[in-house]
Structure 1
Amino acid sequence: MTNTLGITSLTRVPVSGSVPALVTPMNIDGTLDIATLHAMVDWHIEEGTSALVVMGSTGESATLDSSEHCQMVREVVEHAAGRLPVIAGTGANSTREALELTRYAKDVGADAVLSVTPYYNRPTQEGLYQHYRKIAENVEIPLIVYNVPGRTGVDLADDTVLRLAEIPGIAGLKDATGDIARGTKLLHMLPNNFSVYSGDDETAAALMLLGAKGNISVTANVIPGLMRKLCDAARNGDVPLVRLISRKVYLLNQALFVQSNPIPVKWALARMGRMTGTLRLPLTPLGSEWESVLVRALALAGVELPAQ
């Protein structure tokens, strides 16, 4: 399959704007709900979403087995059918496994991959560098490195990011630290053709105003159209519109993390009537004490909920 982006040079990924980190719909019995997955892809395309990430942490990649992981990537790529780019999550705490997932993503036609830092085993900075270098040098697909120390227990240092940016095939960085000062420093130091994406909804607009290419988002699962408008405004430097939209979404950005992601976002989508909200253990349903918080946040963002 030829990828959507038509990239012949592997060095960069021309994706910008709102990029939802897609949730994984499940049936009541916990199996994958492919029909709903297809419907969600269609909805995001209708709402103007720029690209989709499949099998990130929001997609519960940690609770899916390898065959389900591959099925999710394949289904999204095939159903999107070139209508928007698809970025496959292929991170693992084993370099060998990350390589296998990355090869699979390329083979089925993903446009790029998103590779989280190896978690739990806490490699050194040199280990992180060699991990990503090994992947980039063995699979010809643009690779976005993903730094989210709050979930992985390891922080990809700025100096390591700068070293990685010199490797052909390493296309960009998803920065989920939420540290605007640090992000600003990286934006000034990295090559202009190296893409930086926010991975933190609360600070994404600020980072885009400073030069980030887009937002790989949890919130965009719920309000894709509004998040697209926010990202477009930030990318275009329209500060008054950024302020206006930010007032509508700030509470939702917070509410979607009152418990571990993706517990709240799946509850919100279920309350909206878009999916069942089923999770796999060890994730458990949203605590009832948080339901009113989510309802209020959805209302502020302009979401009309069906009657119960």
Structure 2
Amino acid sequence: MKEFQFTGVNLAISTPNDSNGRIDYDRLEQLIERYIAVGIRGFVLSSGTGMHVYLSQEESKTLIAFGAKIIKGRAKIIAQTSALLVDDVVERTRYAADCGADGVMVLPPFFEGPTDDDGVFEFYSSVARGGLPIIGYNVPQAVGVEITPSLFRRLYEIPEFVTVKDSSGDLAKQAALARTGLPMMNGADPLVPYALFAGTKGLIWGGANFAPKTCLEVVKAAQEHRWDDAREIWRLLEPAMSLIWEGDYVQSVYAAAEMTGYGAGNPRRPLSRLSAAKIDALRTALGDLVEREKSAV
């Protein structure tokens, strides 16, 4: 079996914005340093939580180059290189490789792209020309393509295809992917402890932006099979991780990170700030996490 490089928490880091909606690179550097100091050893640049879909191609590439320069080998780097055209995905992937990325996360074909297994297989076979390990991104509720266990096995035959990040939010389907015996990553915040128990090899976690210390602790406890400890730590995280999954995910992560001291400004338009009622609900769900995280560094 291929070597799996992306164990533990890989932070789908939020992309900071200034008051004019431009990427705030000074704040990005500060956040990366804080996350590394608390123990994060994997980053996803231009992630979904980092608003990949709302970044231009040049912005995404500049973001990846800048982030990789700051990280400087101190953590694994996964770059999202998803695009409508497969040639664009390949070009973005080659660029990420030149910047020092360790792997790429790529959505299957979307927006009227092929949905059959042969078409998806051909797509990822073409992406492999980019020369980096590929993490397939399974989020069928958003793109209309599901990576099933049988398709996962087939995709794994591509030398560069190393794993699937499952963000379906369906525990039964994720467990089926895990039962293939192939390395699988969780991308659904409310499923973290269950995914770890089922044998997931790594996590790509957007909610870790606002609670990196506590997220690392629950994963460490699970990796050491201290399940009672993991359950107690998860009780601190579960209310907020479940709430953000119910809707307005990206905006909720940005708002929660502001409360715990890892603020990245406001999400980029067309996303808007949360309503006052949702802010209050989020603050209640965070509970003791606010002070717990603020004292982390």
- TM-score bracket for the superposition, by shorter chain length: over 0.9
Query: TM-score, normalization: structure 1?
Result: 0.90
Query: Which residue number corresponds to residue 131 of structure 1?
Result: 123
SS of the residue 2:105 aligns to: strand
Query: Which residue number corresponds to residue 227 of structure 2?
Result: 239
Query: Which residue number corresponds to residue 271 of structure 2?
Result: 283
Letter matched to residue 212 of structure 1:
T
**More displaced, 179-188 or 95-104?**
179-188
Query: Which residue number corresponds to residue 6 of structure 1?
Result: none
Q: Structure 2 unaligned segments of length 5 or more: list them.
A: none
| Residues 1-308 of structure 1 mapped to structure 2, 5 A cutoff | 11-124=2-115, 125-136=117-128, 138-191=129-182, 195-275=183-263, 277-303=265-291
- Per-residue CA shift, 1:16-49, capped at 9, x if unaligned? 1111111000000011100110111111111111
**More displaced, 171-180 or 63-72?**
171-180
SS of the residue 1:197 aligns to: strand
Distance in 2 between residues matched to 1:115 and 1:102, nearest whole Å: 9
Letter matched to residue 200 of structure 1:
A
Greater fraction helix: 2
SS of the residue 2:104 aligns to: strand
CA drift of 1:303 comes to: 3.4
CA 1:30–1:187: 2 relative to 1, 3 Å:
same
CA 1:272–1:208: 2 relative to 1, 3 Å:
closer
SS of the residue 1:171 aligns to: strand
- Per-residue CA shift, 1:197-225, capped at 9, x if unaligned? 10001112111112111221111100101
Distance in 2 between residues matched to 1:305 and 1:113, nearest whole Å: 29
SS of the residue 2:14 aligns to: coil
Letter matched to residue 124 of structure 2:
Y
Letter matched to residue 170 of structure 1:
F
Query: Which residue number corresponds to residue 4 of structure 1?
Result: none
**More displaced, 145-154 or 22-31?**
145-154
- Per-residue CA shift, 1:219-241, capped at 9, x if unaligned? 11001011011111222222101
CA drift of 1:62 comes to: 0.8
**Alpha carbon RMSD of aligned pairs, Å?**
1.9
Distance in 1 between residues matched to 2:6 and 2:263, nearest whole Å: 27
Distance in 2 between residues matched to 1:68 and 1:305, nearest whole Å: 30
* Residue identity (%): 27
- Per-residue CA shift, 1:77-115, capped at 9, x if unaligned? 110011111110111222111111111111111011111
CA drift of 1:271 comes to: 3.3
CA 1:281–1:168: 2 relative to 1, 3 Å:
same
Letter matched to residue 164 of structure 2:
L
CA drift of 1:160 comes to: 1.2
Check the 8 A contact 1:147/1:173 in 2, yes or no. yes
Query: TM-score, normalization: structure 2?
Result: 0.93
Distance in 1 between residues matched to 2:3 and 2:81, nearest whole Å: 18
Check the 8 A contact 1:116/1:146 in 2, yes or no. yes
SS of the residue 2:40 aligns to: coil
Letter matched to residue 242 of structure 2:
Q
Distance in 2 between residues matched to 1:207 and 1:268, nearest whole Å: 23
CA drift of 1:71 comes to: 0.8
- Per-residue CA shift, 1:239-294, capped at 9, x if unaligned? 10111011110111023234322111111223345435322222111111101111
Paired residues, number = 293
Check the 8 A contact 1:16/1:50 in 2, yes or no. no
